[in-house]
Structure 1
Amino acid sequence: MQYQSEVAQRAFVDIHTLEPIALAATASAAVASYAWVGRYDQKAADAAATTAMREALANAPGHGSVVIGEGEKDDAPMLFNGEIVGNGHGPDFDIAVDPLEGTSFCAKDLPGALATIAFGESGTLWSPGPGFYMDKIVVPPQAKDVIDLDDPPEETLAKVAKALGKQVSELRVVIMDKPRHKDLIARVLRAGAAVQTPAGGDVGGSLAVLLPTQDIDLLLGVGGTPEGVMTAAAVGALGGGMLGRLAPQRAEEADAIRAAGMSLDRIYNCAELVTGDAFFVATGVSGGSLLGRPRKSEGTTITESLVISSGQVRHITRTTFE
C-alpha cells in the first residue's frame, strides 16, 4: 500500500513545481559553456554544458526520463535518450534537452547560443526514436489554423500573411542557412518575403516567432528533433501553431525510422508532440536580442533566462553567489 500511495502521489504532482530545477539546469549549463565562447571548440563547449546540466538535474525531486536528448546525430557529448535523472523522491516526468543549442555560435562568439530544456508530465513528450531531423512550420497563434506542411512555401506565405493581416512582402521568415534549404530560401525570397538565415539555432528562431518582442512571423525548414519537441512545449504553452514531420538526412536514418515502425509521411501537430502539461526554459550563452550572456560581477554570476509555461513568458535574471 505504501508503494501504491507513492505512485498516486506522483501522479498528482504539478509539473510546474520543477521549474526551479529546470532553471538551475539551464543556468548551470550556460555558465559552463560560456567559458568556451569564442574558443572554436564545439565539442568542449557541448561537453561542459552537458556535464553541468546533468549535475543540476541529479538534484531534481523525482524520476526524470530523458525522452529525447541531443548529440547522437553528430557524435557529440550528450544526455542520452532513456537516461534517468533526479534523486528518486518525487514525481515521474519527461525531459527533452539540448544543453547547448547553437554550438557553432558559442564556438565563434556569435549571438544566439542557448542552454535549453523542456519538462513534461510523464509520458507526454513525443519520442522520435532514431529520427534526428524534422521538417517544421512554426507560426503565431493567429495563424495556427491555416498551416499545412504539404503546402508549397508560396501558399504557406499567402495563408500566414492573410491570417496576420499582412502582405506577403511584409513577412519575415526564419530559415536556417543550410545547403538543404537553398531552394526553399530562394522560393520564399521570390514570393516577396524577407528571410533571416542563421547558421543554426532553430529553437531560437521559433522563440522569435512566438515572442512579440521579436520581429519574426514564421519559421520554416528542417532542424533537429530535440529542438522540435522543445519548441512544441513552448508553442503549446503560448497557443501558437506548429507542424512537424520526420525528415531523415541520410539513408541509414530513414531505414532506422522504418525499422522502428515509424512513418516518414505522418505530420504531427503541436498537441501530438506534447500531449500533456509541459514548460520550456532557456538561458542565454553567447548573448543576442533574445537573452544576454552570463556576466560576472563582484563575486556573483548573473544569467538571463526565459521560462515559458501556461500562457506566460517570464524573463528571469538569476544571480549566483560564488
Structure 2
Amino acid sequence: MEAPERNLAFDLVRVTEAAALASARWLGRGDKNAGDGAAVDAMRLSFNSLPIAGTVIIGEGEKDEAPMLYNGEVIGMGTGPALDIAVDPVEGTNLLAFGPNAIAVVGAAPAGSMYNPGPSYYMQKLVVGAAAKDVIDLDAPVHVNLRLIAKALGKDTNDLVVFVLDKPRHQKLIQEIRSVGARIQLHTDGDVAGALMAVDQRSEVDVMMGTGGTPEGVLAACAIKGAGGAMLARLDPQSEAERKAIEKAGIDLTRILDADTLVQGDDVFFAATGISGGTFLRGVHFSGQGAVTHSMIIRSKTGTLRYIESHHNWNKLMQISSIKYD
C-alpha cells in the first residue's frame, strides 16, 4: 500500500507564519522596507528546513534588487519534490507600514508548471467566485460583466461589491462601476488579497477588477486553482519601457491568460498568513509569551481550503530563534 501524498500546504504555512511573525512588529511604523526585509529573512530561513528542491519563479524580483528569494534562487533542503515557488513575504508593504490587510504569501507547483512573467510587471485581471466563473469576459464592457456576474450570483447589480486598487489608472474603471450602481472597495495595495476575497465565500467581495502586479497574478492563480472561481488576465504594461521589454522577450501582449495557464496541472499548494489584519485574514496578535497567527492553506488536488489559528510559544520556537523582535 502506497503512503499518502504529502500536503505541502502544511509546510508552506510554516513559512508564511514565520514571515508574518517577523514583519508584524513593523505594523504602522512607516518603514515598509524594514518590514519587508524582516519578512524576507524569516521566510528564507524557514525554507531551509523544508524537504523540497525549490526554485523561485516569482520572488522579490529584479525590480527590488533582492539579496534573497530572488527569481531563480534555489531554496529548500534539496531533497523531495522539485517545485516552482512563488513568494511575496509582505503582499502590501504599504499596508504593513500604514494600515490593514498585509499578508505573507507562498505558492508551490511541480517544476516547470508556473508561468514566468519575465519583464512584465503589470497585468489586467478579472476574478470571480465559482458561481460566476462561466459568465465573465475580459473584453466585455464593465457593465456587461457586472450584470452577468450579478445574475449568476442571484443579486442585483447594486448589491455587488467590487475590489479595485485605488490607483490613478483606475479612474475610468471606477466611474464605469459606479455607473452600474455596484459598490466598490478601494484598496491602496494588495491584489493577491483582493483575488482571494473574490473567490472566498466568507468575503463580501464578489469580483476583483483592474490592473495589478503580474507576479501577484501568478500567486493568486495558485490559490484559485484550489479555491474555485476563475481569473482572466492579460499583460498590461504601464510604461513604454515595459512594453518594449515584453515584446523583445517574444511574449504575446494580446493573449488572455487564466488560472490554468498561469499555473499548469492540478498539484498546486498555497498558503497565506495575515500580518496587519483587516477584512481578509486577522493579523498577528502578540502576547508576553508568544503570538497568535491566522492563516489559510489551499490544496488544488482536493479543492480543500483550511483556515488555521496557530498559537506560538517563544520558548518553543527554536527554528525562528534568530529572528529579532525589538
**TM, length-normalised to structure 2:** 0.91
Which residue, 164, 174, 179 being the options, matches 1:190?
179
Structure 1 residues 16 and 148, CA gap change in structure 2 (3 angstroms): farther
- Which residues of structure 1 form unaligned runs of 5+? 1-11
Match of 1:256 in 2: 245
Which amino acid is the alignment partner of residue 305 of structure 2?
A: V
- Tell whether the 8 Å contact from 1:13 to 1:91 is kept in structure 2 after alignment: no
Structure 1 CA distance for aligned equivalents of residues 215 and 204 of structure 2: 24
SS at match of 1:233: helix
Which residue, 303, 311, 321 being the options, matches 1:319?
311
Task: Give the RMSD, CA atoms, in angstroms.
Answer: 1.8
Which amino acid is the alignment partner of residue 223 of structure 2?
A: A
SS at match of 2:26: coil
Structure 2 CA distance for aligned equivalents of residues 47 and 150 of structure 1: 39
Which residue, 113, 116, 119 being the options, matches 2:108?
119
| Residue 321 of structure 1, CA deviation | 2.0
- Tell whether the 8 Å contact from 1:294 to 1:301 is kept in structure 2 after alignment: yes
**TM, length-normalised to structure 1:** 0.92
CA deviation map 1:223-245 (0-9, x unaligned): 11121111111111122111111
Match of 2:215 in 1: 226
- Tell whether the 8 Å contact from 1:175 to 1:220 is kept in structure 2 after alignment: yes
Match of 2:57 in 1: 67
- Tell whether the 8 Å contact from 1:29 to 1:99 is kept in structure 2 after alignment: yes
- Tell whether the 8 Å contact from 2:8 to 2:269 is kept in structure 1 after alignment: no
Structure 2 CA distance for aligned equivalents of residues 128 and 256 of structure 1: 11
CA deviation map 1:16-44 (0-9, x unaligned): 53223211110010011111111101111
| Residue 268 of structure 1, CA deviation | 0.5
Structure 1 residues 88 and 304, CA gap change in structure 2 (3 angstroms): same
Structure 2 CA distance for aligned equivalents of residues 289 and 173 of structure 1: 14
Match of 1:23 in 2: 13
| Residue 114 of structure 1, CA deviation | 0.3
Aligned 1:157-196 pairs, distance under 5 A = 157-196=146-185
Structure 1 residues 311 and 57, CA gap change in structure 2 (3 angstroms): same
Structure 1 residues 248 and 75, CA gap change in structure 2 (3 angstroms): farther
> Structure 1 vs Structure 2: percent identity of aligned residues?
45
Structure 1 residues 76 and 182, CA gap change in structure 2 (3 angstroms): farther
Match of 2:271 in 1: 281
Match of 1:143 in 2: 132
Structure 1 residues 156 and 284, CA gap change in structure 2 (3 angstroms): same
- Tell whether the 8 Å contact from 2:44 to 2:68 is kept in structure 1 after alignment: no
Structure 1 residues 74 and 250, CA gap change in structure 2 (3 angstroms): farther
Alignment partner of 1:41 is 2:31? yes
Which amino acid is the alignment partner of residue 307 of structure 2?
A: H
Which amino acid is the alignment partner of residue 57 of structure 1?
A: F
Aligned 1:191-206 pairs, distance under 5 A = 191-206=180-195
Structure 1 residues 130 and 50, CA gap change in structure 2 (3 angstroms): same
Structure 1 CA distance for aligned equivalents of residues 67 and 174 of structure 2: 31
Aligned 1:62-141 pairs, distance under 5 A = 62-73=52-63, 79-108=69-98, 110-141=99-130
| Residue 302 of structure 1, CA deviation | 1.7
